């Protein structure tokens, strides 16, 4: 009976360690995604404004042609779904 109990303990301990490692892996992936930029297509980027919404008046815009969210060069007159009005 002692060997059966020891095996269960080892199994449970291993499961807890694996679950912790999996959670740590997911957290690091989320952090990497949060720090990375997203493809233009995923953000529905377009080179023309959407009414008065354009990159140059967005909080995400980095002059002269970059964005905190969208990867690659962007037009100051462009627009995407990440647009947030500058305060």
pLDDT of amino acid 47: 97
pLDDT of amino acid 32: 42
CATH class of the region 37-87: few secondary structures
Note the Cα 68 to chain centre separation in Å.
12
| One pLDDT digit (tens) per residue for the chain, 87 residues | 455 556 777 767 766 666 665 555 555 445 445 568 999 999 999 999 999 999 999 999 999 999 999 999 999 999 999 999 998
Locate the domains of the chain by residue range.
1-36, 37-87
pLDDT of amino acid 12: 75
Contact 57, 87 (CB under 8 A): no
**Look-up of token digits 């930029």:** 37
């Amino acid at each position: 009976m002692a060997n059966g109990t020891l095996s269960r303990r080892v199994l449970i301990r291993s499961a807890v360690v694996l679950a912790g490692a999996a959670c740590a892996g997911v957290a690091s992936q989320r952090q990497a995604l949060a720090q990375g930029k997203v493809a233009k297509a995923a953000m529905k980027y377009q080179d023309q404004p959407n009414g008065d919404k354009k990159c140059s008046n967005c909080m995400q815009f980095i002059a002269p042609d970059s964005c905190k969210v969208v990867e690659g060069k962007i037009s100051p007159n462009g627009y995407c779904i990440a647009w947030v009005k500058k305060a």
